[in-house]
DNA sequence: GATGAATGAGTATTCATTCAT
DNA sequence: TATGAATGAATACTCATTCAT
């Protein structure tokens, strides 16, 4: 029904507003009132769309996650040498995060929430799944690279995938605290070095 | 004299108790009462040692930071090839973090706190300084490696240092969400691959 | 419409309840809980109507002031000889204060609050304005009396107005501490004596 | 013993320090710590000299009262016409209050304290006695003036005394809120006018 | 469906007072 | 005698949540 459509799109709009609020003031620093006011609706109405404050926050997280997933997915286009595919993919993710840096704090809040007894489970599992998925995605490609003879066979693809995911996450974190860091450049340098080491081809002397 | 010693050591003890509390329930989820009770003192006494809840939290953070700094510093021992020095250092940091994983949430809380408007400055600056220091430490060694002829001259040491710091941080984060990950193994694999690429020596076929 | 009316009248009712509380126990001796309980509402609701404890107190003061202003204003009726106008006016104010003596402590609290560093400005200014207004009112009448030939020309009307306002205030204060004092009688005697001196007519020997 | 002398003078010194504190921040706004710190002693020591915070405050009040009593007493010198005696006395009191205006808030605090249920009795009685004494002092002189033929016989001396005391108190209050008022001038004008009316002598045309 | 008034539990913080040293 | 660490009761204020209109 149109009703449903309206409802869903309004909910989606609310999520975006809430995301901005949470990003600015954190989970505990944001009141339901704040969100309602920012969205121009009444406090009571907010509860028509979300059961809970935590529910609202979780919705924000899901939305955030989806956006990221889209970026990652887009680069799946399997063209050219695997190494270049990975490079393109990693750079795309990094660039997307840099562009949306304003919402990055939502992430930090999710991590913190995931660590808190009581809230732990829900967010913790989601993050775990998120990272596991991304690691798998990369590991699969690395293995494909091995099969294609582009990447050394003895490389432990799972470990490397984890390290790669970590490097991106860790660079973003540093970038958040110090925006003078050039994430893209760092990522590129890093991948080049890595692949010069990984690659079966002789590194250019 | 003794007074001072007593006071300081009591304060230190309180910091450790508070660290455990914050790690378990987060900043906002931990009340001053909780900490006081956990420490077996009265709420009022807590305020004799810390001006503020934030002050207490910051003390916890400083303590956490110092512990890490010690671990990093210990490995400064400049023996053997630079590459091995770096390997030892990075592995030591990773291993220390893994061992103290129970307190890791404090870190997550600091990040989140640093992102919140209002609290930002203090924690943000501290984190920025922390990362900048660690990056510099690594970059310096990488450059020493270049001078020693162990590491390729064309490598951008600053970018690499950032990526390395990021990789460790990012791996820890994944480990926090999924303790089935083998951080040490991942770090080791990662460094090996990296240096096989970085190293001027021919990677072992 | 009705909403607004309701809200305003409820606020007004709360002010009266709070006035009684403050009068009984003073500003610091009255908790927001006390007021809420006395009004039969919850603490939280109190904050829907007043931003602050100080805000509530200020509202009480304003209400108190207005009541007084009304009494003073009523007597403006410019009939008969000026001296009698002033007598009527002063006696009306005194009588009104005596009748509302139960709320007089609110005044004492305002004075004290005005003297406290930090709260000073708001209350201090209000009191200053209140007295200045009343002095001016009296001075104007005294001058009118001079023009009408009822009052000696050489009298310093401003000084006298201040003294008159002071006398009323000071008598009330004494009355508060010792209700055996007959304020009305004292005021009347005082004015008679004063005007027998002020008046251009020969005092009855 | 010297001990005792020391003790008393130290106590007296503490009272003066406390007076300044109370005058600045009010009764509730002043903590025992504040006073102790301002006096350069420890909180605990304060309790060696005063049983209570209220006790300390009462001591301050007593000290304040004594100072005033001295000023009033000094002028008792029964020389010259009674009217001039009264003028001198009243002006002396006013001038003394103006000079010590910085401590005036202590007075305001006492009044407020006297109005609060719980503290009432002690301060209320003291204030009542203070005013009663001063009224009596003035009334006695006025009556002496009547006997001496200086003052009209039909004047109600008690009422006039109350009004006079009130006028001084009330002028001080206005002065506190608005120091542009010239208390001395106002008092002088006021007394002149009053006695021109009171005096049996023909007022100077 | 939307509102916003009402709630009341929860929290940081202060401070008079005590007492062991 | 003087200290200052320790206490715990008290209080202003916030906010998620509910529900009558």
pLDDT, tens only, C81-93: 888 888 888 888 8
pLDDT given for residue C205 in this prediction: 44
Choose the mutation target among B97, B116, B151, B184 for the interface with A, i.e. most A CBs under 10 Å.
B116
Q: Which residues of D56-87 are buried (b: 16+ CB within 10 A; e: fewer)?
A: bbbbbbebbbeebeebbeebeeeeeebbebbb
Chain D residues in contact with C29 (beta carbon < 8 A): 116-118
Comparison of pLDDT for D73 and B5, the residue scoring more = D73
State the pTM of this model.
0.87
pLDDT given for residue B69 in this prediction: 78
Q: How many Å apart are CA C114 and CA C57, to the nearest integer?
A: 12
Mean pLDDT of the region C55-66: 92
Chain B residues in contact with A24 (beta carbon < 8 A): 116-117
Q: Give the residue on B whose Cα is nearest the Cα of A105.
A: B115
Chain D residues in contact with C131 (beta carbon < 8 A): 174, 177-178
Q: B202 pLDDT exceeds 60?
A: no
> What is chain A's alpha carbon radius of gyration, rounded to the nearest angstrom?
20
CB contact under 8 A, D124 and C185: no
Q: D5 pLDDT exceeds 80?
A: no
Chain D contact for C63 (CB, 8 A cutoff): no
CB contact under 8 A, C166 and D178: no
Give C123→chain D minimum CA distance, Å.
10
pLDDT given for residue A27 in this prediction: 93
C43-52 pLDDT, tens digit each:
999 999 999 9
Give B111→chain A minimum CA distance, Å.
6
Q: How remote is the C-alpha of B38 from its chain's centroid?
A: 25
Sign of the CA dihedral running B190, B194, B199, B203: positive
pLDDT given for residue D156 in this prediction: 87
Chain D residues in contact with C162 (beta carbon < 8 A): 171, 174, 181, 186
Mean pLDDT of the region D144-162: 87
Considering all CA atoms of chain A, what is the largest pairwise distance in Å, rounded to the nearest integer? 67
- Cβ distance D34 to D51 under 8 Å? no
Mean pLDDT of the region C129-135: 91
| Protein residues contacting strand E, judged by Cβ under 7 Å | A 10, 41-45, 47-48; B 30-33, 43-44, 47, 52-54; C 3, 7, 10, 41-45, 47-48; D 29-33, 43-44, 47, 52-54
Sign of the CA dihedral running A10, A11, A12, A13: positive
Q: Which of A131, A162, A197 sits opposite B186 (nearest CB)?
A: A162
Q: Which residues of C125-151 are buried (b: 16+ CB within 10 A; e: fewer)?
A: ebbbebbbebbebbbebbbbbbeeebb
- Exposed, middle or buried, C38 (CB in 10 Å: 0-12/13-18/19+)? middle
CB contact under 8 A, C178 and D116: no
CB contact under 8 A, B29 and A194: no
What's the first-to-final CA gap in chain A, in angstroms?
64
Portion 64-103 of D in contact with C at CB < 8 A:
none
Q: Which protein residue has its CA closest to C1' of F21?
A: C3
Q: A137 pLDDT exceeds 80?
A: yes
Q: Which of D112, D168, D196 sits opposite C170 (nearest CB)?
A: D168
| Protein residues contacting strand F, judged by Cβ under 7 Å | A 29-33, 43-44, 47, 52-54; B 3, 7, 10, 41-45, 47-49; C 30-33, 43-44, 47, 52-54; D 10, 41-45, 47-48
Mean pLDDT of the region C42-64: 93
Chain B residues in contact with A91 (beta carbon < 8 A): none
The mean pLDDT value of chain D amounts to 85
The mean pLDDT value of chain B amounts to 86
> What is chain C's alpha carbon radius of gyration, rounded to the nearest angstrom?
20
Q: How remote is the C-alpha of D10 from its chain's centroid?
A: 24
Mean pLDDT of the region B153-163: 88
Residue B105's closest CA among B29, B14, B13? B29
CB contact under 8 A, C169 and D168: no
CB contact under 8 A, A187 and B23: no
Q: A1 pLDDT exceeds 80?
A: no
Chain D contact for C121 (CB, 8 A cutoff): no
Q: C5 pLDDT exceeds 70?
A: no
User: Residue A198's pLDDT band (boundaries 50, 70, 90)?
Assistant: low
Give A107-159 as a DSSP string. HHHHHHHHHSTTTHHHHHHHHHHHHHHHHHHHHHHHHHHHHTTSB-TTS-HHH
CA separation (Å) from D127 to A140, D71, D183? 90, 17, 22
Q: How many Å apart are CA B26 and CA B75, to the nearest integer?
A: 31
- Cβ distance C195 to C83 under 8 Å? yes
Angle at D169 between CA D52 and CA D98, to 5 degrees: 85
Of A144-153, A163-172, B170-179, C116-125, where does mean pLDDT reach its minimum? Answer: C116-125
Q: How many Å apart are CA B196 and CA A153, to the nearest integer?
A: 14
CB contact under 8 A, B190 and A111: no
Nucleotides of F under 7 A from a protein CB: 1-20
Q: How many Å apart are CA C74 and CA C80, to the nearest integer?
A: 15
Q: How many Å apart are CA D27 and CA B205, to the nearest integer?
A: 84
Chain B residues in contact with A124 (beta carbon < 8 A): 177
Of A82-86, D75-79, D116-120, D174-178, where does mean pLDDT reach its minimum? Answer: D75-79
Q: Give the residue on C whose Cα is nearest the Cα of D108.
A: C112
Q: Tell me if there are at least 3 CB pairs under 8 Å linking chains D and B.
A: no
Nucleotides of E under 7 A from a protein CB: 1-20
Q: A24 pLDDT exceeds 80?
A: yes
User: Residue A75's pLDDT band (boundaries 50, 70, 90)?
Assistant: low
C147-181 pLDDT, tens digit each:
888 888 888 889 889 999 999 999 999 999 999 98
CA separation (Å) from A82 to B134, C113, D49? 33, 76, 86
Q: How many Å apart are CA A53 and CA C165, to the nearest integer?
A: 58
Local structure of residue A202 (DSSP, 8 states): P
Mean pLDDT of the region D151-175: 90
Chain A contact for B59 (CB, 8 A cutoff): no
H-only helix segments in C148-182: 157-177
Give me the percent of chain B exceeding a pLDDT of 70: 89
H-only helix segments in B50-205: 53-74, 82-99, 104-115, 120-147, 157-177, 183-198
A8-23 pLDDT, tens digit each:
888 999 999 999 999 9
How many interchain CB pairs under 8 A, C with D? 196
Of A45-59, A174-188, D4-18, D34-48, where does mean pLDDT reach its minimum? Answer: D4-18
CB contact under 8 A, D170 and C174: no
The contacts of residue D34 (CB under 8 Å, 6+ apart) are: D21, D25
Give B61→chain A minimum CA distance, Å.
15
- Cβ distance D173 to C166 under 8 Å? yes
Chain D residues in contact with C159 (beta carbon < 8 A): 182, 185-186, 188-190
Comparison of pLDDT for A185 and C55, the residue scoring more = C55
The contacts of residue D125 (CB under 8 Å, 6+ apart) are: none
Q: A2 pLDDT exceeds 50?
A: no
């Amino acid at each position: 029904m149109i009703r449903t459509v309206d409802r869903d799109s309004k909910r989606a709009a609310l999520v975006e507003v809430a995301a901005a609020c949470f990003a600015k003031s954190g989970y505990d620093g944001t009141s339901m009132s704040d969100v309602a006011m920012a969205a121009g609706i009444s406090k009571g109405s907010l509860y028509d769309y979300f059961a809970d404050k935590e529910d609202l926050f979780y919705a924000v997280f899901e939305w955030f996650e989806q956006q990221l997933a889209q970026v990652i997915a887009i680069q799946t286009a399997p063209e050219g040498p695997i190494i270049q595919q990975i490079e393109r993919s990693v750079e795309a993710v990094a660039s997307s995060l840099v562009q949306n840096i304003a919402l990055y704090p939502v992430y930090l809040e999710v991590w913190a929430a995931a660590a808190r007894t009581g809230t732990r489970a829900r967010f913790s599992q989601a993050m775990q799944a998120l990272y596991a998925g991304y690691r798998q995605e990369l590991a699969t490609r690395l293995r494909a690279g091995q099969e294609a003879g582009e990447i050394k066979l003895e490389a432990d693809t799972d470990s490397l995938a984890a390290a790669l995911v970590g490097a991106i996450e860790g660079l973003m974190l540093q970038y958040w605290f110090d925006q003078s860091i050039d994430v893209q450049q760092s990522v590129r340098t890093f991948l080049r070095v890595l692949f010069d080491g990984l690659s079966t081809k002789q590194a250019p002397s």
